[in-house]
Amino acid sequence: MEGLYIHKAKKDTMATSLNVEDDIDESLSLLAKHQNIEIMTQTILKGAVVWLSPGTREDSFEFFFVHEGELEIVDDSMTTVIGPGDSFFANNIKQNIKLHCLKNAVMLYMSNCIAYDDVYYWEQNLQDLINRINEKDHYTKGHSHRVLGYAIKIRERLESVCKWMSYDDFVVACLFHDVGKCNVPSEILLKPSRLTNDEYNVIKKHPLDSYRILEPVFGEAISTLTRMHHERLDGRGYPYGLKADDIPMEARILMVADAFDAMTSKRPYNVARTYQSAAEELAGMTAQYDVQVTRVLLDLVTSGAIILDEDNIGRKIAEGRM
Ligand SMILES: [Fe+2]
Ligand SMILES: [Fe+2]
């Protein structure tokens, strides 16, 4: 009948949608679209965190109905657990709302914000980059995820002074800060012994290469943050030897999270330090690292908010180079 559109689910759609690649924690399928209204299903894997961000329009409206699974909605004042049959909507929200998935979830998602095309485009680009990293160096993948985890925890305590970049952009930059290592020859990247000066100079190109790879995909801010992750406040970092005034808080956080993971990961040429001793040493390196950031890290470690993950992939895969 004219005007009637039927969407038949592919066999086992729900099951396969929960078997998405390990690296993508969420997946969106478009069921119907009319003008600027989109109706989608969204799957989110257990453990993943998804953020609802303020829309670009004042009348932005996003509705979610939980078909299966369990999620926790966290905002400033409360935490609410929702499950099958529950629903919620966001209408012109002013700040990010965190959704933490407790059990693999499938939700019906309706939006008037043209979410699908944006997310689909991002997922494609993210997946391409993840594949490039994995092909080159398994360590970098594990390292990137751990650095992101530390950086998020630190940023949550310093949100009021993170003015440069949105939370979402910060996440992408942390995850892909080392993507420029794709251009480092494997014999250098995976060399198990000390590098020569020339080899080290090749490694030192990777922040600039991260910038060049990411800029066309994600724009100036995200790529610039990745370019800064080996700078140091005293100007002794690379590639540009920037000094404190030129290094925003978001980059200071990424620098510390990155160094912390390098110090606490077991590598062929490096014994893994304990979290406590690494955080204490970083807190003492006041010339290189932001004191506010290293104090937060030390507090997170001391209070048990960052716990040693014995299963973390970086400890098992002893290859690659920071
Ligand atoms: Fe790096
Ligand atoms: Fe790194």
Whole-number pLDDT of residue 317:
29
- Closest ligand to C-alpha of residue 206 is 1
Contacts 24+ apart (CB under 8 A), 274-277: 274/308, 275/301, 275/306, 275/308, 276/301, 276/302
Nearest-angstrom CA–CA distance, 171 and 193: 32
The pTM score is 0.67
Contact between residue 223 and residue 214 where contact means Cβ atoms under 8 Å apart: yes
Q: Which ligand approaches the C-alpha of residue 151 most closely? A: 2
Question: What separation in Å is there between the alpha carbon of 203 and the centre of ligand 1?
Answer: 8
Number of Cβ within a 10 Å radius of residue 208: 18
Q: Quote the ligand 2 centre to 253 CA distance (angstroms).
A: 12
Domains of the chain: 13-113 (2.60.120.10), 120-316 (1.10.3210.10)
pLDDT of residue 1: 56
Q: Rounded distance, CA 264 to CA 246, Å?
A: 28
pLDDT tens-digit profile of 235-281?
999 999 999 999 999 999 999 999 999 999 877 777 889 999 999 99
230 CB neighbour count, 10 Å cutoff? 22
CA angle 118, 144, 27 (to 5 degrees): 30
Surrounding ion ligand 1 within 5 Å at CB are 178
Dump pLDDT digits (tens) for 149-189. Answer: 999 999 999 999 999 998 888 998 998 899 898 888 888 88
The pLDDT of 21-34, averaged and rounded, is 66
- Assigned token pair, 122: 């991002």
